[in-house]
Amino acid sequence: MPIGIVYTLGFAIALIVALIMTPLVKKFAFFVGAIDKPNHRKVHTRIMPRMGGLAIYLALVVSFFCVIMLIPEGTLLGKDLNLLKAVLVGGTIIIITGAFDDRFELSAKLKFVLQIIAACVVVFGFDISIEFVSLPFGENMQRINDWIGIPVTILWIVGVTNAINLIDGLDGLASGVSGIAIATILIMAIIMGFQPVILLSTLLLGGIIGFLRYNFHPAKIFMGDSGSLFLGFCLAMLSLISFKQITLVSFVIPLLIIGVPLSDTFFAIIRRLVNKRPIFAPDKGHLHHRLQDLGFSHRKTVLMIWGIAAIFGAMAIIQSAVMKFNGANWITFAVVCIVIFFMQIGAEVIGIVDKSRRPLIGLLQKLGLKLGFVDSQSSRSE
């Protein structure tokens, strides 16, 4: 059977499984008491079932075992199968962690430890880690020592896993952003012909789209930590195994792919440090909170952030093409600087760190640059 038909079949199976399993998972969540009650930080006003991530996980696993035997011989090599096993085994640890947290609300320290365990299983059990480094103005990649590559790999997996969790604040937000990021990885994997990533991305995308049928506003079920942690882990793994031999400068590509959750996480840390609050203390200063404070509706806020995620994804694809056909690392360095500049401008405009502190905008205005949209946003927020 042609490989394209196999992938299409896998996508369809994952989509159907997610559509069937999500209502069943919803009933299961109510049965075991995995529910989310409204409070001053939540935007929903009624008790909602969590654990929706189980439906996405089951869609991935069922579709994977349905199509793996149909893939033509020689398409997936032994190393490719090792990567697939790493995602499934590590993902299973993460989904169990998230499911227990949805039911029993585990402590942040315990969840962190379990995430590190999952990352260590991937690194030491399946020998997956960052291997090469490429500096901004150099052309040759150099192999790095394991004592650098392994900690960075573990940090990457744990960091991205939690980044998706932090933006899971509105109906369909985290699942939609994750779907856009995975679609971006899928396109790039197709261009590169990297079969294991194509397979996993296709199946995950089918599961996410099926789940979104019940998760978009007004949501019938939340994906909970089981979903946000699982999708975060999958994104970390897919970006890692796609680009694990091109790091630092060219690691901007996976950074762009998950630019929305990572930037929101970064600004959340800065915001809490500025306000002298614990880093892990929850608040209502995330990107989606600030957009709603500016007057945007629930759906418009979600769609706007989806749009931002799509822009990041398009930039990642373009940057990947530039590096493939040009190979000039200084271009990547310039892109990083431009992205950081506009991210800081956007953060100051919406007040994601502090509503009154706008150092970069103030500097630009002192230099004589008029930013009319800043004044309009300020008056709107007032």
Binding site residues, as ranges? 165, 225
Q: Which two tokens stand for residue 87?
A: 């995602």
Across-strand partners of 49?
35
**Extended strands (E) in the chain:** 35-36, 48-49, 132-133, 142-143
Angle in degrees, CA 228, 230, 236, rounded to 5: 100
Instruction: Report d(CA 204, CA 178) in Å as an integer.
Output: 10
Q: Which amino acid makes up residue 263?
A: S
117: exposed, middle or buried (Cβ count in 10 Å: 0-12, 13-18, 19+): middle
Instruction: Report d(CA 58, CA 177) in Å as an integer.
Output: 20
Binding residues for Mg(2+): 165, 225
Angle in degrees, CA 185, 200, 233, rounded to 5: 75
Instruction: Report d(CA 366, CA 362) in Å as an integer.
Output: 6
Q: Is the dihedral of CA 294, 297, 302, 306 positive or negative?
A: negative
Specify whether the CB–CB gap between 66 and 54 falls below 8 A: no
Instruction: Report d(CA 342, CA 197) in Å as an integer.
Output: 31
User: How far is CA 4 from each of CA 7, 14, 226, rounded to the nearest angstrom?
Assistant: 5, 15, 30
